[in-house]
Amino acid sequence: MFDLVIKGGQIVTATDTYDADIGISDGQIAALGRGLDGQDTIDATGKLVMPGGIEAHCHIAQESATGGMTSDDYRSGSISAAFGGNSCFVPFAAQHRGMGVTETLDLYDSRAQGSSVIDYGYHLIVADPTEKVLTEELPAAFARGVTSFKVFMTYDLMRVDDRQFLDILTVAKTHGALTMVHAENSGMISWISDRLVAAGHTSPRYHAPSHPALAESEAVNRAISLAKLVDAALLIVHVSTPEGAALISDARLAGAKIFGETCTQYLFLTRDDLDRPGMDGAKFMCSPPLRDVPTQEALWRHLQAGTFSVFSSDHAPYRFDESGKLANGPDATFKQIANGMPGIGMRLPMLFSEGVGKGRITLQQFVALSATNAARLYGLEKKGSIAIGMDADIAIWDPNETRTVTVEDQHDNMNYTPFEGWQVTGWPVTVLSRGHRVIDAGKLLAQPGHGQYVARAKTDLTGYPGHRAVELDPKTNFGAEIAP
């Protein structure tokens, strides 16, 4: 007799589709079979039973370097994620200059503990790689289960230079952590932005030309080169251009430990959305910016071909009012408007409807992109699949439910969704976290605090031969041991 049995559904994993019941005890999957009985039962007849989504790129209770706070905290952000089919998420914990890493993680612990309805971890943003950070605090973060570190190549208050980037890659490599990078060329962006503003081109639509595709591809190429120099693992986040994606694909083909991520908005929105009347374009400002339809098609090809291991929302919620997008007034220039848009609740319904529903990806690819790949890459050892011994983090989808997207359906703290009015088919109707119903039939059933911190393991790099620069290899550099 199990605590809970999910009966009659079609189970989908990253490799298989099969009919079976799932027996759950003590929050874990205890059996897969037929005719299982439990103290409690969920009838999943006609439904798809999949691993709960893992949202691996979102900004929750995070202040920017200039002080603006995201509108979602761990309560509202996790609730919105859960309504969108997720049972785990990994937001960022952002170090700002002058802050320690341990202090940063303690701060985010205080924001997350007792608030989240789903399990969570953090990626650490490193903006101030002092000697203490490199030698003491990053290893301590890793030991605490924070096994991924993000760096920025742009934003004056956040970015690291190439040498600092190499230091972080090297420490990450030593411990088995994964470095993540926001890859855009800072000088190109500030040079164009200043010229646009000086010429009076200040409205939100000029955010697109201020962040040219070349700024992304130059930085992606440089980031990959730095990672290859020290043979470290690197994930390029929120890739928005075919050129950036092709660089990642080439590096992967060459065996380098390079990974890529793209996001919902780059597949479904374009720079024309930035050109909406008045300040409405501000709702669609994110960095890198939205591109065009040919770019969307190229990014779909890369998603299908496996260039992108992860597909994320990059939920960075700033309300369309003076608390968020309009904090610098109704006439702010595009340079003064917060970058980011919400989407944690729409990542999976959009990918399911437009991906699986329109024959662009298989159900298996959907599961891989929604949960399994992120679990493996980010060391969430008990999550991301339906197998005996895994956490019972499960999303049950009605593949036929059709909805028109509204902001009310997002259950976040936002006053808009960039996907308003889209028709989607396929909806997560029940979401379980460690066997506990978080969402069922449109209702929130978990309390804030149900979600627990998950210490993550290191990335499995099996199958990546890597790349040893001859200049760093003692066999070919006259015996100099200068990097691990």
Site residues (CB under 6 A) for ligand DUC?
59, 182, 237-238, 286-287, 314, 316, 339-340
Asked if 347 touches Zn ion (CB under 5 A), the answer is no
In the complex with ligand DUC, the residue whose CB is nearer, 64 or 353, is 64
Query: What's the rounded Cα separation, in Å, for the pair 55 and 394?
Result: 14
Only one of the segments 275-283, 313-321, 399-407, 444-452 lies at the binding site for Zn ion (rule: CB under 5 A); that segment is 313-321
Query: What's the rounded Cα separation, in Å, for the pair 207 and 274?
Result: 8
Sheet with 436-440, side-by-side order of all strands? 17-19, 10-12, 48-51, 394-404, 423-433, 436-440, 443-444
Asked if 184 touches Zn ion (CB under 5 A), the answer is no
Nearest distance from residue 59's CB to ligand DUC, in Å?
6
User: What, of ligand DUC, Zn ion, none, does residue 265 touch, CB below 5 to 8 Å by kind?
Assistant: none
Nearest distance from residue 214's CB to Zn ion, in Å?
18
User: What, of Zn ion, ligand DUC, none, does residue 217 touch, CB below 5 to 8 Å by kind?
Assistant: none
Asked if 182 touches Zn ion (CB under 5 A), the answer is yes
Query: What's the rounded Cα separation, in Å, for the pair 428 and 466?
Result: 39
SS3 category, 166 = helix
User: What, of ligand DUC, Zn ion, none, does residue 173 touch, CB below 5 to 8 Å by kind?
Assistant: none
In the complex with ligand DUC, the residue whose CB is nearer, 170 or 410, is 410
Pairing outcome for strands 258-263 and 234-236: parallel
Among residues 73, 216, 314, 409, which is the contact residue for Zn ion, using CB under 5 A? 314
In the complex with ligand DUC, the residue whose CB is nearer, 339 or 385, is 339
Number of residues located near Zn ion, criterion CB under 5 A: 2
In the complex with ligand DUC, the residue whose CB is nearer, 287 or 295, is 287
Question: How many helices and strands (H and E) does the chain possess?
Answer: 14, 20
Query: What's the rounded Cα separation, in Å, for the pair 294 and 296?
Result: 5
Nearest distance from residue 378's CB to Zn ion, in Å?
15
Query: What's the rounded Cα separation, in Å, for the pair 15 and 384?
Result: 12
Query: What's the rounded Cα separation, in Å, for the pair 137 and 158?
Result: 18
In the complex with ligand DUC, the residue whose CB is nearer, 347 or 467, is 347
Nearest distance from residue 480's CB to Zn ion, in Å?
35
Asked if 261 touches Zn ion (CB under 5 A), the answer is no
Q: How far is CA 322 from the centre of its chain?
A: 27
Nearest distance from residue 313's CB to ligand DUC, in Å?
10
Nearest distance from residue 316's CB to ligand DUC, in Å?
4
User: What, of ligand DUC, Zn ion, none, does residue 339 touch, CB below 5 to 8 Å by kind?
Assistant: ligand DUC
Q: What is the dihedral of CA 467, 470, 474, 475, to 10 degrees?
A: 100
- CB of 58 within 8 A of CB of 412? no
User: For the chain, how many residues are written?
Assistant: 484
Nearest distance from residue 365's CB to ligand DUC, in Å?
24
Nearest distance from residue 45's CB to ligand DUC, in Å?
40
Q: What is the dihedral of CA 100, 105, 106, 107, to 10 degrees?
A: 90
Nearest distance from residue 54's CB to ligand DUC, in Å?
17
Distance (Å) of CA 326 to CA 69, 141, 196, 208, 279: 13, 35, 20, 18, 9
- CB of 167 within 8 A of CB of 129? yes
Query: What's the rounded Cα separation, in Å, for the pair 126 and 128?
Result: 6
Closest residue to Zn ion: CB criterion: 182
User: What, of Zn ion, ligand DUC, none, does residue 333 touch, CB below 5 to 8 Å by kind?
Assistant: none
Which residues pair with residue 262 across a beta bridge?
311
User: What, of ligand DUC, Zn ion, none, does residue 291 touch, CB below 5 to 8 Å by kind?
Assistant: none
In the complex with Zn ion, the residue whose CB is nearer, 182 or 319, is 182
User: What, of ligand DUC, Zn ion, none, does residue 128 touch, CB below 5 to 8 Å by kind?
Assistant: none
Phi, psi (rounded to 5 degrees) for 21: -90, 155
| Contacting positions for Zn ion (CB under 5 A) | 182, 314
